[in-house]
Amino acid sequence: MRGKIIKGVGGFYTVLTEDGDCVVSGIKGIFRNQNIVPLVGDDVLLQQENEGSYVIAQILERKNTLLRPAVANITQVVIVAACTRPKPNLMMLDKLIASCEQSDVQIILCFNKTDIATEEEIEQLSEIYAKTPYEVFFVSAEKGQLGKIDEKLQHQTTVLAGPSGAGKSTLLNALNPEFFLRTGELSEKIGRGKHTTRHAELLCLDEKSYIVDTPGFTNVDLTSMDIENADELFAEFVPYLGKCKFASCVHDSEPKCAVKDALQEGKISRSRYENYLAIKEEIDQHSRKNRR
């Protein structure tokens, strides 16, 4: 019987079968031996063991795999960050965007909590990210002001990604109040989320639209991703790549650099450029260490 993994906790997987039932199943030992970890979003074949007890016998070929958050077979990622509370960490946001670019999925940016943000906070984010090719939404999940992001989710398998406390689960509850997902206050002391969502879970918006809620995270490790050219992961740089004077230009201190020209002309935002340099440096340092 065919099905889709909608949740995995402690080696047990909840699978939505093609008949519309949910069954909890283990996996065949062979996967463990091969170090294959089933992911939320995986299409699988189930084998019945005893009455009402199933195991995952086969994981069908994945269309794609996202590493952070770890999910399979998605068509797009909506990166959710709060405009404020918690204050967005743009370095971490740009790392997350870069890590998704690595997986070749459609990326949408969603800034939440417009109801408590100042105009200045919204304007600043809007200016920075309007210069990227991504579609950017400003929403208030709490007030149900979703700015038509719901239309973008139709006929897609979307994963929500972003820091704890950004409002991912609140946004899902706004999309469908029947989800009843647990949401959590921010910690008063440090103003961060409290990691309320513990496991990735795939939910059905309608028959053809799926969405995955995921636990928030505080860091993205790009050094484990085997990235060769960090500049290719900054989508608004791409039109300028190959147009610098030096073919090996990494857009740092080289003269006649097309990326830096675009920065001067205001076509690339300074915040994104600086985060690119920092990310590139981090990746370089890591590969130098590995070569030693």
Ligand X SMILES: Nc1nc2c(ncn2[C@@H]2O[C@H](COP(=O)(O)OP(=O)(O)OP(=O)(O)O)[C@@H](O)[C@H]2O)c(=O)[nH]1
Closest of 64, 234, 262 to residue 134, by C-alpha: 234
Question: What's the min distance (Å) between Cβ of 109 and ligand X?
Answer: 15
Q: Which of 14, 156, 157, 164 binds ligand X (CB under 6 A)?
A: 164
Gap between the terminal Cα atoms of the chain = 50
Q: Is 197 in the site for Mg ion (CB under 5 A)?
A: yes
Buried b / exposed e over 127-138, threshold 16 CB at 10 Å, is ebbebbebebbb
Question: What's the min distance (Å) between Cβ of 215 and Zn ion?
Answer: 37
The rounded distance, in Å, linking the Cα atoms of 265 and 41 is 42
Closest of 68, 47, 50 to residue 59, by C-alpha: 47
* Residue 58 and residue 16 in contact, taking contact as beta carbons nearer than 8 Å: no
Binding mask 210-249 for ligand X (x = CB under 6 A): -----xx---------------------------------
Binding mask 256-275 for Zn ion (x = CB under 5 A): -x-x----------------
Question: What's the min distance (Å) between Cβ of 151 and ligand X?
Answer: 19
Q: Is 39 in the site for Zn ion (CB under 5 A)?
A: no
Residue with tokens 């402690």: 10
Closest of 266, 72, 39, 281 to residue 157, by C-alpha: 72
The rounded distance, in Å, linking the Cα atoms of 165 and 149 is 19
Buried b / exposed e over 171-181, threshold 16 CB at 10 Å, is bbbbbeeebeb
Q: Is 140 in the site for ligand X (CB under 6 A)?
A: yes
Q: Is 14 in the site for Mg ion (CB under 5 A)?
A: no
Contacts to Mg ion from residues 155-174, by CB under 5 A:
168-169
Q: Given the rule CB under 6 A, which of 98-106, 150-158, 179-187, 279-287 is the region that contacts ligand X?
A: 179-187
Q: Is 249 in the site for Zn ion (CB under 5 A)?
A: yes
The rounded distance, in Å, linking the Cα atoms of 180 and 176 is 8
Q: Given the rule CB under 5 A, which of 115-123, 130-138, 196-204, 255-263 is the region that contacts Zn ion?
A: 255-263
- Residue 269 binding target from ligand X, Zn ion, Mg ion, none, CB below 5 to 8 Å by type: none
Q: Is 158 in the site for ligand X (CB under 6 A)?
A: no
* CB of 41 or CB of 216, closer to Mg ion: 216
Q: Which of 112, 157, 269, 275 binds ligand X (CB under 6 A)?
A: 112
Question: What's the min distance (Å) between Cβ of 270 and Zn ion?
Answer: 16
The rounded distance, in Å, linking the Cα atoms of 255 and 240 is 14
Question: What's the min distance (Å) between Cβ of 290 and ligand X?
Answer: 32
Residue with tokens 């509850």: 173
Binding mask 102-121 for Zn ion (x = CB under 5 A): --------------------
Q: Is 214 in the site for Mg ion (CB under 5 A)?
A: no
* Residue 253 and residue 259 in contact, taking contact as beta carbons nearer than 8 Å: no
The rounded distance, in Å, linking the Cα atoms of 96 and 275 is 12
Cross-strand pairs, 66: 71
User: Which residues bind to Mg ion, rule: CB under 5 A?
Assistant: 168-169, 196-197
